[in-house]
Copies of this chain bind each other. A is one copy, B any other.
Amino acid sequence: MPKKKRPSVMDQIESNAQDVYDKILKRKKPTMSTPVRSLANVKYHPKKGHFEMLGKTKERTLTVGTVKTFAQTLKMMALSKELIESNDMATKREAYYISKNWGKAGFAEKPESDRIMDDVEAMFGVNRELLKFVPEAKGGDTAGNLMVIDTDSRGKKLKIDCTKFGSGAYSIPTDVESLGFQSKAKFILAIETAGMFQRLVKYDYWRKKGCILISMGGVPTRACRRFIRRLSDKLKIPVYAFVDGDPYGYFNIYRTLKVGSGNAAHLNEFFCVPKVSFLGVTPQDIIDYKLPTHPLKEVDIKRAKDALKNDPFVKHHKRWQASINQMLKMGVRVEQQAFAKHGLDFVVNKYLPAKMRNTAKFLP
């Protein structure tokens, strides 16, 4: 969502295009400016809770050399305007194919098209969904104490009751911007694997504890992260993450969910969930619950050491550093299904209740 008082995307597109047009009429070289999208242009903002862009921008001035990308950027802006006006949307891949009708401005390869779309997104400082460019990938299922408010394709209001899916779930759509929510849930539990999600659904966890369960299915998609973020903003209840106890779970999943990632810093503001905290599985859980483990792989060790050295989030949080060092010392990783060793119901009847008695102790 754009911050208050920010001009609408539509206004921004029009005023940008107007600038270019006016300059051309004055026989001046038109310019467009986009923030530099890289880790070098990023800092961790603990208070805001996400990676944030520093001020570096790159200018694209219309010259013989830039004429093609300049035209492509304008065409991409025009496409966005069209989509907003017609209440339609396009995936990145569709946008690429649409460009096949742009004559010489057509993209030769999809990565070119993706790059220009990222530029446009960063230029307007909004998330792509507001430009009506939606992700290819779906991702994320939810079940529990949540009513999702949507409209059908004929504009009729729909209330989707996520307590009524039995063994199934509500599949989060690619574009979640216009969804509304009603809920009396006490917390949101974001789960790494579909298997664990299915276990908690089977054992009625959401009903017993009055919560919303979300299956991220590995690294959460944009749609899934934005969905959790919007729930968190709207419902003002805690979000807890329950993922595998390995560097992939800690950084690729949890860190991305919480503060975002380096190479997409221009949109972390919209996609991160600063209020999430880490329920488990922690290295200490391995000891406390005598869990079966696997040895750390070389890639795990490399990832953990990299994080200690370079990840602004980890460098900010001493408790994470301690946990990562503990994991490296133990030399093992653990999967969230490991609790099954103590019986299939152990995770629901013992582990989660024990953890939930002391949420203040969760890793940040």
Contacts and interface: CB of A to CB of B under 8 A. Distances in A.
Interface of A: 88-91, 93-98, 100-101, 134, 136-138, 141, 148, 150-154, 158, 160, 164-175, 178-179, 193-195, 197-199, 201-204, 207, 215, 217, 292, 335, 337-341, 344
Given A90-B340, A97-B341, A337-B94, A194 B166 contact: no
B292 A341 contact: no
Nearest to A292: B100
B150 A168 contact: yes
A153 B344 contact: no
Contacts of A166: 148, 150-152, 158, 160, 173
Contacts of A178: 167
B94 A344 contact: yes
A240 to B, nearest CB: 21
Nearest to A290: B100
B141 A138 contact: yes
A344 B175 CA distance: 17
B194 A174 contact: yes
Nearest to A217: B138
B215 A138 contact: yes
Contacts of A340: 90, 93-95, 97-98
Given A89-B198, A138-B141, A138-B217, 15 more contacts: A90-B340, A93-B195, A94-B195, A96-B337, A97-B341, A137-B195, A138-B169, A138-B194, A138-B198, A150-B168, A153-B201, A165-B170, A167-B173, A168-B170, A169-B171
Contacts of A151: 166
A134 B340 CA distance: 14
A195 B154 CA distance: 20
Contact of A93 (B134, B136, B158, B335): B335
A28 B339 CA distance: 39
Contacts of A174: 167, 194-195, 198
A174 B193 CA distance: 12
A170 B173 contact: no
A179 B150 CA distance: 26
Contact of A165 (B93, B158, B195, B198): B158
Contacts of A160: 164-166, 168
Contacts of A202: 88-89, 153
Given A97-B292, A97-B338, A150 B171 contact: no
A245 to B, nearest CB: 13
A207 B175 CA distance: 20
Contacts of A203: 153
Contacts of A164: 152, 158, 160
Nearest to A139: B194
